[in-house]
Each structure stands twice: as C-alpha cells, then as structure tokens.
Chain A
Amino acid sequence: MKKNKLNSYNSQFFLAYILIAPAVIYLLCIVGWPLIETFRLSFTNSSIAGEDYVGFENYEKLLSSSKFSKIAIRTFVWTFFSVLLKLIIGMIGAVLLNASLRGRSFFRILVLPPWVVPIAIGALGWMWVYNGHFGILSGIGIRLGILDGPFSFLAYKNSAFVATMVTDIWVGVPFVTLFFLAGMQAIPRDLYEAAYCDGAGRFSRWYHITLPQLTPVIITMSLISAVSTFVSFDIIYILTEGGPRGATTTLIIDTYKMALGNYKFGKGSARAVMIVIMISTFAIAYFYLLSRINKKVSHG
C-alpha cells in the first residue's frame, strides 16, 4: 500500500518538470543561448560595425598562428602547476588542520578568508606584496641580502608568471584544504587503529590509509580546480593585465582582450569556442577516468 503511494508520487513527471522549469529556462537564456551564439559568432567577422559570414577563417588564422599556440601552451603550464600546488599545499594544510592540536577549530576558520573575500580584493593585497619598493617580499629579500635592490615581481616575465600563479594558488588552497579535511574526517578511525597496532608509523598510515581513502575527493578537487584555474580571470587581469609583454596572457585574457578590448566579437568568439572545446575534452577524459576507477573499486 505504502509502496504504491510512493510510486504514484514519483511517477508525476509533470510536477517535477514544473518545479525545475524556472531554473532551466533561466539557464537556457543566460548560458545556453550565449553558448550557441558564441559558436555562431565564431564563424563571422562580427564587430561593433556589423557582421558577415566568413566560414572557418577565424579558426584557420587562430590555429596557424604561433602566438596562439604559445598562449595555449602557457595556459596549460600555468594551470598544471597551479592545480598541482593547490592539491599539494591543500593536502599539507588538511593534514596540519586534522592534527589534534589546541586551536584546531580556530585554524579551520582562519583558513577560509582567501576564499570568502572577493578575488579582486585579494589580488589587490598581493599587488602590494609583490611591489618592488614597498612590498614585503622585496623588503625581506633586501634585508636578507638575496636581492640587491628593489625588485618588482610583476615587472619581469618569469617572476610575473610565477607571481600570478602563487596568487591563484592562494585563492584555491582554502577550498581544497576544506574538502580534503572533510574527506579525512569521514575515514573510519578503526582503520588507523588497526594499522597502529600493526606498528605502522605516521607517514605509512597516511600513505596506506589516508591517501587511498581520499582518492575520490582528490580526483573531484583536481577537476574543479583545473576548470576554474583554466579560466581564471580576475587575478591576472588585476595584477598584470596579461603583461609584461604578454608573459601572463592566458587564453581567457587573450579572449577578453580580443572581444571586449578591441570589440572583435568574431575573433574573440573563436577563441572562446577553443576554450570550451579544451575544457570539455578535459572533462570528458576525466569522467572516463573516473568511471574506470569506480569500476575497479566496485570489482575489487
């Protein structure tokens, strides 16, 4: 009797769809249509003046330009190291905050501000830190004798590349730490106790219990971080605007400048489409990997 009730309850697609409809329709207008429109525009030479169909011209130019491939490679390098370090520092942070020390719950709150504060404002703080004349990094460097004089971290190609990356890592670490920490707390304690009785040391317990148990969370976080890092905009735009001499121009900065700096909508759209294709490829590869791991886990 009860089962029947439940079934009739569940089978009402109509109500289910009605309830989702507002959100779905809104997203179709604000995300769905723009996505399709981006594809369409990428085949035109659209600008403020008007638009004409140009076929694959935008893509041909893009793919044959060495500048674009340089930017793409730079974006991948930037994303890869940023995500890798987010995961490593996040893991270290989670281990530290998981240790049963006094002040633990306070530390857990203290880790979140970089995530809570708008990125644009956090980036302003970093701009100050990196400043050659009155930033603390340069100041310490001079005091310790590492630097001969004021060093502006954002003014040189390599240091600017690393500096924007460090800021991006800083924005991402709290979130990763938080999720790793939550994952660690979900691991059954008896696993650790059994290993302890068998004489496993701290590192060995982390390596043989924590790490494998956290694998799903690590994979999820690497996807989320990779996607948001790949299209990270505010940090670079505020710190360097893609400079010096293009050293921090990633795909998203290049797209933005082309589309809304020069109002070349067509060319900008082709770049946006390339980003969408790259992210989608990555996400599909990731889900493929995930499903294989899940299979492995459920089979053995």
Chain B
Amino acid sequence: MDKYSLPLKIFLYLSITVFFIFILLPFVEMFYASLRPLKHIFRSPYQFYSDDLSFWAYREMWNTVPLLGRYIFNSFFMAITVTFFTLLFVIPAAYSYARFNFPFKQGSLWVLLAVNMFSGAVLLIPLFKLLRYFDLLNTYFAMIVPGIAFCIPTSIWLLKAYFEKIPVELEEAAYCDGASRMDILFRIIAPLSTPGIAVTAIYAFIQAYAQQFLFAITFNSIREYMPIVSGLTEFIGYQSVKWNEMMAASIVGVFPVLIVFIFLQKYIVEGLTAGAVKN
C-alpha cells in the first residue's frame, strides 16, 4: 500500500491536533482556571499566560466546602454499590441469554434496549412517587435504586456477548462429569469470563458515576448524601462564586473514574466494541 507523503503526514497530524483541541479544551480550561487566583480569574480581557498560577485552590477548597471529601466519597460509594448490584442481576441473566433458548428471548432482548431509550428523565415523576412511598427520598437509596435499573440493560448486552464466546463443550464436559449447573456457572463460566465481567463492571461504574446528577438533584436534598456532581454547587456562595476552587474540586472529583479508566482502558475499548461490531 502507498505510504503517506510528507505533506499528507503533516496534514494528518494537524487535523489530529485540531480534533484533540476540541476534545480536551474544557479540561484544559478547567485546569487552567483552577490554577488561577480568584482575583485573577475575573480579570478581563482574557489572558493566556500569567505568572501567578498556583495550586492554592486545591488546598483551600477543603476549607470552603468542608463536606467536599464526603461528597467524593458518596459518589464513589454509590457508584460502587450500583456496580455491585448491577453485576448481581446481570451475570445470571446474561448467562441465561447466552446459553438457553426460550420463548420471548429475542423479544425481551429488544425490550431491554428500549429501557435505555426511556432514560431516567422521562420516568422521574413516578420514580419520585415510588421512592416517596417507600420512604427512600433523601437517602443513598434514592440515587442507587434507579441507578441500578438504568445500568442493567446495556450490561446484559455486553456480558451476553462475552459468555457466547465461551465454548459450550466445556460446560457439557463438566455436566457429564456430574457438576451441577451452579457449579458450572461459578467454577467454569465465572473464572473464564473475568475480563468480560470486568468490562461490564467498568461500564456500570462509569455510567453510575455519570447519571448521579439527575437523580441527586431530583431525589435528594440532604447535603450529607450528595454526590460530588451536585455538591459542586456549594462553591456558589451568596456573595461570590469560588470558581477556581470549584474547578479544582471538579478535577479531584473525577479522579476515581479517571483512575479506573486509565488502568483498564485497554479492556474498555476492546470490550465495548467487541459485541457491537460483530452484529
């Protein structure tokens, strides 16, 4: 095949640069804003460089919003809980879809996809009533219970694709040797599908972390249970908005997801696309 000529190469790298300026712009702005002293932030016109940048906001933000650590913990805790329960629901269901034939199988798979379409915002009113009825408003569960539901459908699809790759013969052999179905699921399938379960868990975690905002502003008004995404509004005071600290807190707040992402990015890219492209 033909090689890239030098002008083409330069053009490609330039295009990639433009593309990534778009992708990374808000993060760079956030980081930049977090380094600037509050007085400087409001200095107009915009300055691209100044010599008073510091990490001061990263220290001060814990004093401005004393519960900040709690908010980050809440986010992390709720996302982990949602992930755990999602897996609990999804592993047996995905296995069943991958291995058995039964009436309504295809139909119910499509219905699962449809669940994704009615994302949380459409169903907020009855969910609000439901949570109020069970006295779950203003608790962690107000954000966890709906969170799990909206992680389940895609997770089933993801994990199903993985289970399907494990040869049935392995299970049949074990079955002939007298292993029970539960033995098969936990001793053979589970270890073999660890990467698939990992991808599903990462997906659920990222999704759970992201969707907290809507549920938090709608179902929770107690500060102690706020996730970081809604806790950030506390930097907006009556007198002034501590923008630099808010930006610093945002960056620190996404650390849990970023760490998960950086360590497992290889699996995410492979896992998410494996099932989809095959069809």
CB distance from A79 to the nearest CB of B (A): 13
A124 touches B124 (CB 8 A): no
B26 touches A129 (CB 8 A): yes
Interface set, chain B 194-214, CB cutoff 8 A to A: 206, 209-210, 212-214
Partner pick for B12 among A6, A89, A93, A101, CB 8 A cutoff: A101
Bound complex: CA A279 to CA B208 (Å)? 23
Asked whether B121 is an interface residue with its Cβ less than 8 Å from the other chain, the reply is: yes
CB distance from B176 to the nearest CB of A (A): 7
Q: Which residues of B contact A34 (CB under 8 A)?
A: 123, 125-127, 130
Interface set, chain A 4-48, CB cutoff 8 A to B: 5-6, 9-10, 12-13, 15-17, 19-20, 22-24, 26-27, 29-31, 33-35, 37-38, 41
Partner pick for B100 among A10, A93, A202, A217, CB 8 A cutoff: A10
Partner pick for A129 among B29, B45, B100, B123, CB 8 A cutoff: B29
Q: Which residues of B contact A96 (CB under 8 A)?
A: 12, 15-16, 19
Bound complex: CA A80 to CA B235 (Å)? 35
Bound complex: CA A16 to CA B185 (Å)? 13
B44 touches A110 (CB 8 A): no
A183 touches B277 (CB 8 A): yes
Bound complex: CA A198 to CA B271 (Å)? 36
- With A220-B276, A231-B119, A252-B121 already in contact, the answer to whether A15 and B181 are too (CB < 8 A) is yes
B122 touches A227 (CB 8 A): no
One of A52-60, A63-71, A113-121, A153-161 contacting the partner: A113-121
Q: Which residues of A contact B268 (CB under 8 A)?
A: 112
Partner pick for A112 among B1, B246, B261, CB 8 A cutoff: B261
From A31, A220, A280, residue with most partner B Cβ within 10 Å? A31
A113 touches B24 (CB 8 A): yes
- With A122-B26, A139-B45, A256-B121 already in contact, the answer to whether A20 and B93 are too (CB < 8 A) is yes
Q: Which residues of A contact B272 (CB under 8 A)?
A: 178-179
Asked whether B223 is an interface residue with its Cβ less than 8 Å from the other chain, the reply is: no
Bound complex: CA A70 to CA B168 (Å)? 55
B172 touches A2 (CB 8 A): yes
CB distance from A266 to the nearest CB of B (A): 9
Bound complex: CA A30 to CA B47 (Å)? 50
Asked whether B226 is an interface residue with its Cβ less than 8 Å from the other chain, the reply is: no
Partner pick for A37 among B95, B129, B250, CB 8 A cutoff: B129
- With A23-B152, A118-B213 already in contact, the answer to whether A173 and B23 are too (CB < 8 A) is yes
Interface string of B29-71 (1 = CB under 8 A from A): 1100100000001111111100000000000000000000000
Partner pick for A139 among B46, B114, B265, CB 8 A cutoff: B46
Chain B residue nearest to A193 in the complex (CB): B1
Interface string of A206-226 (1 = CB under 8 A from B): 000000000011001000000
Majority-rule SS of B interface residues: helix
Q: Which residues of B contact A41 (CB under 8 A)?
A: 125-126
Chain B residue nearest to A37 in the complex (CB): B126
Partner pick for B123 among A38, A110, A121, A124, CB 8 A cutoff: A38
Q: How many residues of B contact A (CB 8 A)?
A: 99
Interface string of B210-222 (1 = CB under 8 A from A): 1011100010000
B19 touches A93 (CB 8 A): yes
CB distance from B91 to the nearest CB of A (A): 9
Asked whether A138 is an interface residue with its Cβ less than 8 Å from the other chain, the reply is: yes
Interface string of A141-162 (1 = CB under 8 A from B): 0110000001000000000000
Bound complex: CA A60 to CA B198 (Å)? 49
Asked whether A283 is an interface residue with its Cβ less than 8 Å from the other chain, the reply is: yes
Interface set, chain A 95-146, CB cutoff 8 A to B: 96-97, 99, 101, 107-122, 124-126, 128-129, 133-136, 138-140, 142-143
CB distance from A41 to the nearest CB of B (A): 6
A116 touches B261 (CB 8 A): yes
- With A5-B175, A10-B100, A138-B46 already in contact, the answer to whether A231 and B95 are too (CB < 8 A) is no
- With A15-B100, A119-B210, A183-B277 already in contact, the answer to whether A135 and B29 are too (CB < 8 A) is yes
CB distance from A176 to the nearest CB of B (A): 12
From B90, B95, B125, B175, residue with most partner A Cβ within 10 Å? B125
CB distance from A109 to the nearest CB of B (A): 5
CB distance from B114 to the nearest CB of A (A): 7
A150 touches B124 (CB 8 A): no
B276 touches A268 (CB 8 A): no
Asked whether B190 is an interface residue with its Cβ less than 8 Å from the other chain, the reply is: no
B1 touches A196 (CB 8 A): yes
Interface set, chain B 116-147, CB cutoff 8 A to A: 116-119, 121-130, 145-146
- With A110-B24, A126-B26, A268-B125 already in contact, the answer to whether A178 and B117 are too (CB < 8 A) is no
List 12 A-B pairs, Cβ < 8 Å. Answer: A10-B100, A26-B89, A112-B265, A121-B229, A124-B250, A125-B25, A170-B22, A182-B277, A186-B277, A220-B276, A227-B116, A231-B121
**Sample of 4 further A-B pairs with CB below 8 A, known A124-B247, A268-B125, A279-B118:** A13-B103, A22-B88, A30-B145, A136-B29
